[in-house]
A and B are shown apart, each in its own frame.
Chain A
């Protein structure tokens, strides 16, 4: 049997990142993980925000969507709720996720929808030439504000179910975390939050500094990622010692948003046939509820 000639679609773009950018590693690990997990390209909906990291969807062969700055999370929630059979992955940078989109991150932790969110954290706004970002430390340029830590933020939600931080300089671990994150969402357990330390070679080259400072909790046998309070205490201590904790920070259980909102007796919103008359009885009921 001959395979039918496949339809030509878009040719993925070549990355626009600077040579040596941490985002290359993220894309490489991501492609490898998806391949390994056997997620077909047509099932993957990949959404990205605005910024250097927010161009990654152009480089992948799948259903790609480029959202507005800071709005990738609500868009991803909409997609997942409408069609829960899709593998939904959202990605963006630290400015996109922790500054302009911070409100949505809070509510995504709160509502626990089953998709993966990869934040490529480079500690500055690379695309606009190096301004301080929410994760820039005191002393970066004129920045006098303390940097935001997304693991601590995530841990403050009783509804958080997956928190991890990887490092582009440690692709093997990043691959394990990436697969665990996608697996978490594929099995409908909720929101998988994966921050990746991804140095910016042009404006804030932290590669050596971060390599020296990272502390891998996955290699610490005393660290229990299912103990929320313990994890919180441990990573605060590590940060006070000047470390950046990486690894699987937390795994918990909480009902997912789609299992709350979707009617299990019916096909999901995007899987319904448009124009069928199957719900006529509900329409008639609506009408009679407005009659005398």
Chain B
């Protein structure tokens, strides 16, 4: 590769590939991500698709950068548009000096769609693919050659990535795709985009290898490393990758990952397995989570350890299955009939997903209650680079489980014994001498059904004491920014990266902010409430229509005068710039309000 020092070093570039569903936008983005990761850069990718196999506008975005970013940025540098709709839908997010690679098989791009400074490369990818290979399927691979060259990627590296990606799908598919890539590289030559003459120079900065992983895979892996050996689930977007990952990996470790006939079977099969002492998890999304409510409450009452992953999507009902939302917070915290203890953890990035899945698995075993991991579609499915997980730092803390010898030493064994911390010892089936009854009926210490009022109160209080005890060790939030800043942010899940980047943009505009990313939202921990106390005002960013997180904070004692709800529920990917505008609007309102106040006095 010829080195040209006039090219700027690639520090932060975003590429969006858009077309109809089935056009292969996600494939292009995934391969670009792999290439940049291999070049020592960090990447973050995002998908914006419809819940169907083909058709409908679909886009995938990749951001490659040096340093730390945890979301797609506010502006896009390169748009690969596989049809005109892709330009119409995405032109608004382009930089003034962006590049558009356009498939003009359907005719030239009408004027006026792009800003003046935009550079347009047009070629009929679809027609070329049909003419050469009789399959339009390969048009994305042709386009890849051009975008790869522009980004400064080496031809050979592109070929390697193609081989890695397509060889498992058979030699014919691989050959066609490689041929399409060559066509693309040839087109790039014709357009004057020669090898080594891209717009960027890629410098290998970070010597450490990075994993390329999505939140759902990290959750699955964290559970497995924490000794999780039983998983049940029913396919539902956007949680399915948890099931698929565990179906691939758990059996190798002697575990079972089973696809059940529905979510009712999913949760109850998980309960049946958990009763035998194996660490157990299930994963689902809104509709499935609703179906599981009876089982989850049962696990709360019968004190069955269980991890439940809720990959939230836009609701209610079937809602918008592929779109992110955080609108199951109420049902996680307050759902189910009756009162029962539970823990809700909220990771913010694929690496956080791993560590919190470990914690969740330990906590469930230790406190014998349902532990939720609250995900959202973006956190679940967006693929990002993370540092290799520190396996040696993972500790597996077993619960209060008694073996045969330990049971034999007791005068009396009571499955639901009243204890100071609320946690009772338990035996698992197969342990001689430790026979017990487990039930969701209210029960006495032995597990025998009881409606005795005094027992009822003691048993209820015992179960809730576990949560008070757990509070001492539940994952605390992560703080960012100036602790004295007047403006605070609270947001969870995918908002983590968006808020961090919005804070930078706000700082450039003179706003000093700080951020607390809560990692446990139930029980609500003191650090979150203290953070709110410390700020003048706190923007609570809620990906739902009713401000569920803001309400939860106020319900837990946060000063409602300090909380300003930022709501979003349109299903669109959140960009930092969008949040910045929402904040600026609010700040302006505050200033105007104060001015009015001053005038009135």
Contact = CB atoms under 8 A, between A and B. Distances in A.
A263 B437 CA distance: 30
Interface size on B, as a range, is 35 or more
B268 A75 contact: yes
B406 to A, nearest CB: 10
Contacts of B277: 82-83, 270
A44 B276 CA distance: 12
B449 A65 contact: no
A263 B251 contact: yes
B278 A275 contact: no
Interface in B415-430: 415, 428-430
A34 interface: no
B272 A10 contact: no
Contact of B429 (A77, A83, A282, A284): A83
B438 interface: yes
Chain B CB within 10 Å — which of A66, A262, A268, A269 has the most? Answer: A269
B265 A74 contact: yes
Interface string B384-422: 000011010000111000000001111111110000000
Given A75-B268, A275-B398, A6 B433 contact: yes
Interface stretch (A20-28, A54-62, A134-142, A173-181): A54-62
A47 interface: yes
Nearest to B395: A275
Contacts of A283: 221, 224-225, 391
Contacts of B230: 78, 81-82, 269-270
Nearest to A101: B264
Interface residues of A, number: 65
Interface in A256-292: 261-263, 265-270, 272, 274-275, 279-280, 282-284, 286-287, 290-292
A75 B448 CA distance: 19
Given A267-B254, A268-B254, A283-B225, A61 B273 contact: no
B411 A86 contact: no
A81 B256 CA distance: 8
Given A68-B295, A269-B230, A274-B227, A42 B429 contact: yes
Contacts of A284: 391
Contact of B268 (A42, A57, A64, A71): A71
A7 B412 contact: yes
A64 B435 CA distance: 8
A254 interface: no
B236 interface: no
Given A7-B413, A13-B448, A42-B430, A86 B276 contact: yes
Interface in B431-450: 431-441, 446-449
A15 to B, nearest CB: 13
B232 interface: yes
Nearest to B407: A7
A79 B275 contact: yes
B320 interface: no
A275 B227 CA distance: 6
A10 B445 CA distance: 9
Given A7-B413, A83-B429, A263-B251, A107 B434 contact: no
Contact of B449 (A58, A70, A86, A268): A58
Contact of B253 (A9, A76, A266): A266
A290 B213 contact: yes
Contact of B273 (A41, A44, A79, A262): A79
A8 interface: yes
Contact of B272 (A9, A76, A263, A272): A76
Contacts of B268: 67-68, 71, 74-75, 78
A292 to B, nearest CB: 4
A57 to B, nearest CB: 7
Contacts of A107: 260-261, 265
A274 B401 CA distance: 11
Contacts of B447: 10, 64
A8 B264 contact: no
A40 interface: yes
B276 A42 contact: no
A117 to B, nearest CB: 13
Given A7-B410, A7-B412, A283-B225, A263 B254 contact: yes
The interface centre, meaning the residue of B213, B254, B271, B436 with most chain A CB atoms within 10 A of its CB, is B254
B38 interface: yes
B437 A71 contact: no
Interface string B41-62: 0000000000000000000000
Contact of B34 (A64, A81, A267, A292): A292
A259 to B, nearest CB: 12
Interface string A1-40: 0001011111101000000000000000000000000001
A65 B439 contact: yes
A261 B275 contact: no
Contact of B278 (A62, A75, A82, A292): A82
A269 B253 CA distance: 9
Contact of A40 (B388, B396, B432): B432
B249 to A, nearest CB: 6
Nearest to B402: A7
B265 A68 contact: no
15 contacts: A10-B435, A13-B449, A42-B430, A42-B431, A42-B433, A45-B275, A58-B449, A61-B435, A64-B437, A68-B298, A81-B258, A82-B278, A272-B227, A274-B227, A279-B253
Given A7-B413, A286-B249, 13 more contacts: A7-B408, A9-B436, A45-B275, A65-B275, A68-B295, A71-B265, A78-B274, A82-B230, A83-B278, A107-B261, A270-B273, A270-B278, A283-B224
Nearest 6 Cβ contacts at the A-B interface = A266-B254, A78-B272, A75-B272, A275-B396, A78-B273, A10-B446
